Chain A
Amino acid sequence: MSDPQDKTAQPDATRRTLIKGAVAAGGAMGFPFVHAQEKITLRYLGTAVNQDKAIAEKFEKDTGIKIQYIPVTTDDVTKRAVTAPNSFDLIDTEYFSLKKILPTGNLLGIDTKRIKNADKITTLFTKGEVAGKKVGDQGTAPKKVMYVEKPDAKTFAASPTQFMTLIPTVYNADTLGIRPDLIKRPIESWKELLNPEFKGKAAILNIPSIGIMDAAMVVEAAGIYKYPDKGNMTKKEIDLTIKTLIDAKKAGQFRALWKDFNESVNLMASGEVVIQSMWSPAVTAVRTKGIDCRFQPLKEGYRAWAAGFGVPKSVTGKKADAVYEFINWFLDGWAGAYLNRQGYYSAVLETAKAKMEAYEWAYWMEGKPATSDIKSPNGDLLAKAGSVRDGGSYEQRMGGIACWNAIMDENAYMVQKWNEFVAA
């Protein structure tokens, strides 16, 4: 942590920066000065997936600050951030949404000096590397939208600065989910999603900006076209991708399209669908029902996503302190371990590791066979002793990223074409 005295030495030092420096120092030293005052409630806007009751309860027990969840869909998080920035104190959104939110000026850059573990955030976010190796950065890779020059900037900084747009919470690499008991053969490529063998038994995401990325993975895997950047297509490329989807739909390939977590779980668990683009915890959810389901690694790699906490500019004073306290608490290990046990990855691995059992860490993060039964945070059995996590270790999985969820420059056109696909 830097010394706040540095700041006063700068020529532009004013009373304001002095105060800021003092606050930063307070934050750096352990941030407990909101304690023992009147109860604060933080309104936490995000998708339902990350908003876990246990996390809010544990945080309130540790600090006395209440968390009030506002669960909405990914699209609605963006919508509210743009249209109603006063309706929440803390936003949990995906990095790709930033391209829409940041230009409105409703988010403030987060001062990393106030974040205790800021320098321990995984290099995947800060440099786009896993274990020193560059990963795919097609689409809205977090490192492209991670920093701003100053807190109220409306454009992204090209290189790392003191101010982060979002502090990463959870992230993962998505691939296809399959029902091995109903498919009965190895699945190795994204192109299987549109293989007529699974006619009427496939499903794809109906969130256009994510669904089109899955479609692009299929198009490339099938050798139809190679995109310069799947996450930022030209109109022609969008036309081609949507046409591939429409042809498949007309041939009866899709049983359904899904938009939220539970829909995908139900489609898979009921056997309506045997192959679909899927989220890792959804696969876990199907498995806890006792149904065989696999989060299938594919040779073309993964489509990654990442979410993080942002601070709206409307939050000031004690509330802002409480927000920073929550973010610091979140990176401190307990929440990270909790999320790791659900199959997500946490932003600061070191602190999460300290809160996990060695056999859990080996199973979830190192890709080693479980030495005892692996249980979810609620105590459901996820994997028997001896089994290995799909996709292997953290480095194998996150190192295999092919592209990131994205907002394209031609977003409006893409949405229009996506509606065409739905109507076809």
Chain B
Amino acid sequence: MRMTAWLQATPFTLVFVLFLVLPLLLVATVSFWRATDYELIPAFTFQNYLDVFNGCSNTDELCVTLKTYLSTLKFCFLVWLITLVIGFAVAYFLAFHVRSVGAQTLLFILCTIPFWTSNVIRMISWVPLLGRNGVINQGLQGAGLIDTPIEWLLFSDFSVVLAFVHLYTMFMIVPIFNSMMRIDRALLEAARDNGATGWQTTWNVIVPLCRTGIIIGSIFVITIVMGDFVTIGVMGGQQIASVGKIIQVQTSYLQFPMAAANAVILLIVTLMMIWGLTKLVDIRKEL
């Protein structure tokens, strides 16, 4: 019996070790190496980590690394908050207001339609809409509401958050919807029978019971935003920093040890955030 269980777990363990654990170990190792423009030198050094935090003792101005992390964390928080509110509302509608399973399935599929095309195309399609001479600005000018085009619609924090929300709300909807579907409807009736208002039912019954879904959705969104550099690049006009972008620039200039050091730090920060989230709920117990 025991043997079979181990055997069953083996294929996945192997895949896991080969494609996740080993590469991660490799990245961690390289982050302690030295490099020139064209070769890696396997000599142990802390220099890469020191370079990442170069200038961070300066109190006048934040160093690049801290500034970049602050900016990334800001996007993380905003996107998390907005996708959570929208995702919860959409899931709530699908789970409790749509009565027939057929309609539920249909609406759910509708939500996935944007995923039929690539991320980048979904992003770029915002550009002609938000641009200086874009649809929105022309519409507003045509209606006489503004004289000069609104500049902050595109290549700004606003457009980055907008694209993130557009791209990743689905990752909130799915797990929250899943949690909601497993709520015993009798509990809602009981709440109503005891005189709870809609709001009270939502806050005191549904939200606590959806905690697992919310945490899983949050993990999805946070890990994606922490590592993203394409969305921030395209929608931010390439002039908003993100940790992923720094790593990408460094790898394209063959500075692999520096990039590895940055990646290790990013991984640690993200893991800490996830660890914090899992402290709020024991996912294994809830699933």
Contact = CB atoms under 8 A, between A and B. Distances in A.
Interface of A: 73, 75-76, 78-79, 82-83, 99-101, 103-104, 200, 206, 208, 249, 254-259, 266, 270-272, 407, 411-412, 415-416, 418-420, 422-423
Contact of A208 (B38, B251, B253): B253
Contacts of A416: 51, 54, 64
Interface in B238-262: 238-241, 245-246, 249-255, 258
A194 to B, nearest CB: 15
Nearest to A415: B253
Contacts of B227: none
B254 A78 contact: yes
B45 interface: no
B60 interface: no
Decide if the interface of chain A is mainly helix, strand, loop or mixed. Answer: helix
B252 A76 contact: yes
Interface stretch (B128-136, B170-178, B183-191, B192-200): B128-136
A200 B151 contact: yes
A255 B237 contact: yes
Contacts of B37: 99-100, 103, 407, 411-412
B249 A82 contact: no
B155 interface: yes
Nearest to A258: B238
B104 interface: no
Question: How large, as a class, is the contact surface on chain B?
Answer: 20 to 34
B38 A423 contact: no
Task: Across the A-B interface, give the 5 residue pairs with the lowest CB-CB distance, nearest first.
Answer: A256-B237, A423-B241, A75-B252, A257-B238, A420-B64
B223 interface: no
Contacts of B128: 270
Given A271-B132, A415-B249, A255 B238 contact: no
A208 B239 contact: no
A278 to B, nearest CB: 15
B39 interface: yes
Interface in B127-170: 127-128, 131-134, 151, 154-155
Contacts of A411: 37, 253
B67 interface: yes
Contacts of B151: 200
Nearest to A106: B38
B201 interface: no
B68 interface: yes
Contacts of B202: none
B131 A270 contact: yes
B133 A422 contact: no
Given A206-B238, A270-B133, A422-B238, A104 B39 contact: yes
B269 to A, nearest CB: 16
Contacts of A256: 155, 237-239
A78 B256 CA distance: 13
28 contacts: A76-B252, A82-B38, A100-B254, A101-B38, A103-B37, A104-B38, A254-B237, A256-B237, A256-B239, A258-B238, A270-B128, A270-B132, A272-B155, A407-B37, A411-B253, A412-B37, A412-B253, A412-B255, A416-B54, A416-B64, A419-B64, A419-B246, A422-B238, A422-B239, A422-B241, A422-B245, A423-B68, A423-B241
Nearest to B239: A257
Given A76-B252, A271-B132, A419 B241 contact: yes
Contact of B250 (A259, A415, A420): A415
A340 B154 CA distance: 36
B134 to A, nearest CB: 8
